[in-house]
């Protein structure tokens, strides 16, 4: 079973993502802060991470770099969740080690499409 970690301080976003993606083949994990998510990754790295572009406790780039710095046989696919297309933010995230981005609020088809791309690359 693959695991996906959603990192967002909005419980609504996490709940919607869990409802859309959750199923027998995928376990959805949740974290409301970057530090909580890093601890979860250090304990057991998920295959996919979707991280909010505006975390309450650290920058998204710092979060991505910290995750990439964790020794793990698994190298997760990382997508940044943004409220608008911000090319500079997307490029910073990609340079830090993210593979893509997702716009929110997202709907079911958008989230499933982005997730298929990440899942196939994982």
DSSP letters, 55-93, are: -SSS-HHHHHHHHHHS--S---EEEEEESS--HHHHHHH
Span 3-28, pLDDT tens digits: 999 999 999 999 999 999 888 888 99
* Residue ranges of domains in the chain, CATH in brackets: 2-121 (3.40.50.2300)
pTM surpassing 0.75? yes
* Per-residue pLDDT at 110: 86
CA atoms within 13 A on the CB side of 8: 27
Most distant pair of Cα atoms in the chain: their distance: 37
The rounded mean pLDDT for the chain is 93
Model pLDDT for residues 50-94, shown as the tens digit of each residue: 999 999 999 999 999 999 999 999 999 999 999 999 999 999 999
Model confidence at 43, in pLDDT bands (50, 70, 90)?
Answer: very high
């Amino acid at each position: 079973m693959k695991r996906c970690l959603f990192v967002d301080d909005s419980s609504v976003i996490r709940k919607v993502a869990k409802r859309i993606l959750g199923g027998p083949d995928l376990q959805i994990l949740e974290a409301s802060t970057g530090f909580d998510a890093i601890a979860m990754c250090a304990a057991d790295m998920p295959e996919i991470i979707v991280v909010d572009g505006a975390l309450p406790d650290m920058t998204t780039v710092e979060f991505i770099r910290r995750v990439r710095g964790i020794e793990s046989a698994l190298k997760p696919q990382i997508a940044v969740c943004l409220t608008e297309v911000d090319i500079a933010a997307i490029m910073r995230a990609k340079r830090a080690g993210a593979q893509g981005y997702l716009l929110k609020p997202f709907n079911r088809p958008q989230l499933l499409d982005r997730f298929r791309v990440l899942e196939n690359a994982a």
